[in-house]
Amino acid sequence: MSKPRVLVDGYNLALEKGTGIATYARNLSAQLSALGHKVDLMYGVRSSAGKNELLAEVSFFDPSPRSMRTKEIVKSLIKSPFGVTAKQVPITGKVIARKTPGGLPEHDRIFNVRNLYTISRWHFRTYGQFLNIDYAGSADIAHWTYPLSVTLKNAANLYTIHDLVPLRLPYTTLDNKRAFLKKVKRISEKADHIVTVSEASKQDIVELLGVDESRVTNTYQAVNLPSRILNRNEDEVREEVSSIFGLEHKQYFLFFGAIEPKKNVGRIIEAYLASHSQLPLVIVGQLVWKDANELRLLDALQDSEKSLLNKQLLGPTTGHAAKTSSVMRLEYLPLNLLTSLIRCARAVVFPSLYEGFGLPILEAMQLGTAVITGSEGANPEVAGDSALIVDPYNVNSISQAIKDIANDDGLMKHYETVGLERAKLFSSEKYAERLQNLYAKFK
């Protein structure tokens, strides 16, 4: 008996630099394909699928940053109550797609509805209903990897809710909280099943949305870095980090992730400075929050150093050398360079205030790096006893952990060893088992 065909949305897959949810969607499609399911990907990019197959393929891969005009939105809303029909994108291989973020995920077919996810947001805002979608030979199951206001006709619709951070820590996100609650409540009422990625998130969904536990399945996530990265030569990685960043092996601390309030970067910087560590702190991440409060201390330090340097250049010398910053910030790195930095770090410092899962914890562990993480949300659930757990709201707690790892090679090596073992619990094979149990409910 053939396994059901599954639709996976391309909402986050289409973003230029991807997200943690894009990683989740990519892993999901790969595992489903490995389990023997046919996989359709549903995008919502601005491409126009015309009669010319070559132009239709070119248009799909051609980025178009222009947002929808008001006229287009109104025109779409007139038609949207009747649903939308997706068109198959002809992927012939004539367009070289290797430069797309991470390449195309595992799939059998790709479909697209022009501006699908923008239209669905406006449709839900206007009519209070999810946008119905259909297409020829459609899937038996639709697995929406994000709380999207879309539903596939005549199929079982599963929605992954990674976390309820906008409701649990409303001061850490820019989401419209009223709109977010309305959407997840609608999902809780209409979804055939809800999927999540930790027991902490499952408990939030049950308690805050009033969903019966039997309708929520925690599959966790898979930590699944490519073998080309995991199997790189150690000397080659060390040389890369040294020559490009000027950093010594196991002689710096690292944070990587979005620069936003829940990531706790401000306290990380403060704790690092309070530790008086001689080892640098490296911060890799883009600012995704309008107010840069998280980096205010770092900016003040840099301004202070510039002022000191100017005094030395323009005024009489005091006999003290200008102190350069011991905090290095990088906005973005491709995966191969980021993983090299992780692998060579003394420890990854990730005491976030709340996570639905906390993938950076396991990525660091899989690369053999010690981890300092927080006691809130899913972090301790994912890390277990294989990371140094701190109170993320307590600067002294974070600072002490940095000092402990900085001054104790044995402690660092202990967490490197137990972290490698912990990561195996979230392997692709374990994830596949959990997915198989989930999809068995919808045969």
Listing DSSP states for 359-420 in one string gives HHHHHHHHTT-EEEEESSTTHHHHHTTSSEEE-TT-HHHHHHHHHHHHH-HHHHHHHHHHHH
What's the confidence (pLDDT) of residue 322?
A: 30
Question: Span 159-183, mean pLDDT?
Answer: 94
CA distances from 336 to 333, 340, 342 (A): 8, 6, 10
- Specify the 3-state DSSP secondary structure of 84: strand
- The more confident residue out of 389 and 45 is 389
- The more confident residue out of 96 and 280 is 280
* β-bridge pairing 87-88 and 109-112: antiparallel
For 432, the token pair is: 């596949």
The answer to the question of residue 1 being in a domain is no
- Specify the 3-state DSSP secondary structure of 132: strand
Residues 283, 330 within the same domain: yes
The answer to the question of residue 42 being in a domain is yes
- The more confident residue out of 354 and 310 is 354
Question: Span 284-289, mean pLDDT?
Answer: 83
Give the CATH number for residue 209: 3.40.50
Number of structural domains found in the chain: 2
What's the confidence (pLDDT) of residue 104?
A: 76
- The more confident residue out of 300 and 200 is 200
Tell me the pLDDT of the chain averaged across its residues: 88
CA distances from 263 to 249, 298, 379 (A): 25, 15, 12
Please report the DSSP string for 200-230 in residue order.
Answer: HHHHHHHHHH---GGGEEE--------HHHH
The answer to the question of residue 326 being in a domain is yes
- The more confident residue out of 405 and 114 is 405
The answer to the question of residue 368 being in a domain is yes
Residues 316, 185 within the same domain: no
The answer to the question of residue 211 being in a domain is yes
What's the confidence (pLDDT) of residue 324?
A: 39
* 405 HSE (CA, 13 A, CB side): 32
Q: How far apart are the first and last CA of the chain?
A: 10
Residues 288, 338 within the same domain: yes
What's the confidence (pLDDT) of residue 103?
A: 65
Question: Span 158-178, mean pLDDT?
Answer: 94
Residues 435, 377 within the same domain: no
Residues 365, 255 within the same domain: yes
Give the CATH number for residue 385: 3.40.50.2000
CA distances from 165 to 19, 178, 182, 344 (A): 16, 13, 15, 31
Q: Tell me the residue range of the domain where 388 lies.
A: 227-424
* Sign, CA torsion 48/52/55/57: positive
- The more confident residue out of 60 and 343 is 343
The answer to the question of residue 40 being in a domain is yes
| pLDDT grade for 175, boundaries at 50, 70 and 90 | confident
CA-only gyration radius of the chain, Å: 24
What are 121-147's pLDDT values in tens digits? Answer: 999 999 999 999 999 999 999 999 999
Residues 159, 22 within the same domain: yes
C-beta separation of 288 from 259 below 8 A? yes
Question: Span 333-362, mean pLDDT?
Answer: 96
The answer to the question of residue 67 being in a domain is yes
C-beta separation of 170 from 183 below 8 A? no
What's the confidence (pLDDT) of residue 21?
A: 81
Amino acid 332 reads Y
Residues 215, 340 within the same domain: no
Q: Specify the DSSP element, H or E, that contains 274.
A: helix 265-275
C-beta separation of 442 from 140 below 8 A? yes
Residues 277, 357 within the same domain: yes
What's the confidence (pLDDT) of residue 164?
A: 97
Q: Specify the DSSP element, H or E, that contains 278.
A: none
Residues 146, 276 within the same domain: no
**Which range, of 106-115, 126-135, 197-206, averages the lowest pLDDT?**
106-115
Residues 210, 268 within the same domain: no
Alpha helix ranges (H) inside 17-69: 20-34, 53-61
The answer to the question of residue 168 being in a domain is yes
What are 210-240's pLDDT values in tens digits? Answer: 999 999 999 999 988 888 999 999 999 999 9
In percent, the amount of the chain with pLDDT more than 70 equals: 87
Q: How far apart are CA 408 and CA 114, in angstroms?
A: 56
Residues 193, 239 within the same domain: no
Residues 190, 285 within the same domain: no
What are 51-68's pLDDT values in tens digits? Answer: 777 777 777 777 665 678
Question: Span 309-322, mean pLDDT?
Answer: 41
